[in-house]
Amino acid sequence: MALAIASTIRRLLAKTGAKFNSLASRLILAAAVWTMIGLAAGGFLLSDAFVSAVRDNFDTGLQVDLDGMIAAAEPDPHGQVALQERFLNRRFARVYSGHYWQILPAQPGAPVQISPSLFDKTIKLEGHPGGDGQIWATAAGPDNQHLRVLARRVSFPISATAKPDDSRAYTFVVASDLSVVEREIADFNDTLIWSFAVLLVGLVLAVFVQVRVGLMPLRRVSEALTRIRSGAAQRLEGKFPAEIAPLAGELNSLIEHSAEVVGRARTHVSNLAHFLKTPLTVLVSEAEANPGPLANTVRRQVGVMRRQVDHYLTRARTAGAVNVLGSRTQLAPVLENLARVLRRIHAERGTAIEVDCPSTLYFRGERQDLEEMAGNLMDNACKWAAARVLVRAAKEEGAFFTLVVEDDGPGLAAADRERVLERGERLDETVPGSGLGLSIVREISKLYRGGVELGEGALGGLCVRLRLPSVG
């Protein structure tokens, strides 16, 4: 029974998705084990008390029957004894009823008196009580019955003789079938087992509900952290119990501190970028003012330094932004703003920029990182496009979306795509730029566990697919 109940508990926990190394599972299993132990101990004590009470009551009935039998005995002057049947229990009149009496004379050879219920049988006792004492014993009865026996020796005076204090002894015996007691005990134990089993299941279910309800605030904290991590929320919101409220407050403080630290780091990065770019600009100006082989070398090395500074500062800034909890950015406004700015920049070429993006799409990250990636891709497409740039975004299965930027320009050979994407090489110096746009986009997207793919678009030019995490 215990194994069946434990198996039921395990299946119930499995169906509810509980793991056996979780706090809820430990509480439920511990409560179930202690409840089973407690109910088993209580059931054992209750059964033992019931058995004792039933047997005491059974023995009391035998004692009453024996006292009534002795009271119904009528001795004659010669020491013989006869019973008045009307004073005896009627159960002694039915054959093999399970209730019997007999009178055994102490005198050898004297006839034995038996109850009608014994018919032609007798109860055989091992030994006889001495004096006026009584004995409890068991014996085999008719029809293979197991009897509980009570016997007492009684002496009656003989007045027909001249001897003073002359008497004759008889052993009065009553017996009852123990199967009645055993059946009552078995019925009680069966009822007790099933009642306690139902009680155990009810208690375990109550504990299960109590644990689930009691741990609900922790699940709310977990769900709130998931929303913060996905960018759907900025902090833990809602009311929590007194035991959980300090934890929620500390987590909110930690989130705010993390955002503050990242903000200071970005400020330092921007200051560093400004500090580095100003001397580089001075070097370029001096090189242009003094042409020659040395000036050409300076300009080339300054260009390399600028690209490296832009690359690693962008990567450092983005790495900090990725670790900020609760960041999310609506995609459509960013793409529309970038398209508006690029239309003005490339107004002389008359490049048409089309944006197709659902308003419900959100990027799980910082706005400036999205602007950095999308801006590089769209600006690069506008530089190479003949007349048209197409930008579209769509949600993927799971927690990602795809941003596709393609143009109708000359495109890029398959052999050159990896060089441009991996190492940021410039294949055409006639187009302005540092050549690190695609490489920077690739680095930032990798930090967000995304990626970039280059291919041939439907418009005939280059098609760039940018995969980034989404909210919801």
Question: CA separation (Å) from 369 to 55, 242, 315, 360?
Answer: 87, 39, 10, 19
Residue with tokens 């007045």: 159
pLDDT at 434: 42
* Domain of residue 300, residue span: 226-326
Do 292 and 246 share a structural domain?
yes
Provide the CATH number for the domain around residue 86. 3.30.450
pLDDT-above-70 percentage for the chain: 79
pLDDT at 312: 64
Do 233 and 212 share a structural domain?
no
Do 249 and 102 share a structural domain?
no
pLDDT at 466: 92
**Residue 59 is assigned to a structural domain of this protein:** no
Nearest Cα to 28, choosing from 183, 165, 206, 188?
Answer: 206
Mean pLDDT score of the chain, rounded to an integer? 79
Residue with tokens 């409560």: 31
Domain finish residue from 326, 342, 362: 326
Do 113 and 26 share a structural domain?
no
Q: How many Cβ atoms sit within 10 Å of the Cβ of residue 345?
A: 12
| Number of domains into which the chain is organized | 4
Provide the CATH number for the domain around residue 344. 3.30.565.10
Q: What confidence tier does 364 reach under pLDDT thresholds 50, 70, 90?
A: confident
Most confident stretch, 191-200, 202-211, 230-239: 191-200
Higher pLDDT, 97 or 278: 97
Do 351 and 464 share a structural domain?
yes
Residue with tokens 């100003």: 278
**Residue 62 is assigned to a structural domain of this protein:** no
Burial of 104 (0-12, 13-18, 19+ CB in 10 A): buried
pLDDT (mean) for 270-291: 74
**Residue 69 is assigned to a structural domain of this protein:** no
Q: How many residues does the chain have?
A: 472
pLDDT at 194: 92
The pLDDT of residue 422 is above 90: no
The pLDDT of residue 287 is above 90: no
What's the rounded Cα separation, in Å, for the pair 139 and 125?
7
What's the rounded Cα separation, in Å, for the pair 262 and 136?
92
Q: What confidence tier does 402 reach under pLDDT thresholds 50, 70, 90?
A: very high
Do 189 and 47 share a structural domain?
yes
Q: What confidence tier does 428 reach under pLDDT thresholds 50, 70, 90?
A: very low
With b for 16 or more beta-carbon neighbours within 10 A and e for fewer, the 111-133 pattern comes to: eebbbebbeebebebeeeeeeee
Do 303 and 432 share a structural domain?
no
Do 99 and 18 share a structural domain?
no
Do 268 and 142 share a structural domain?
no
What's the rounded Cα separation, in Å, for the pair 446 and 452?
9
**Residue 306 is assigned to a structural domain of this protein:** yes
Q: What is the pLDDT of residues 113-150, one digit of tens each?
A: 888 888 888 888 765 544 456 888 888 888 888 899 99
Residues 6+ apart with CB under 8 A from 33: none
Do 385 and 433 share a structural domain?
yes
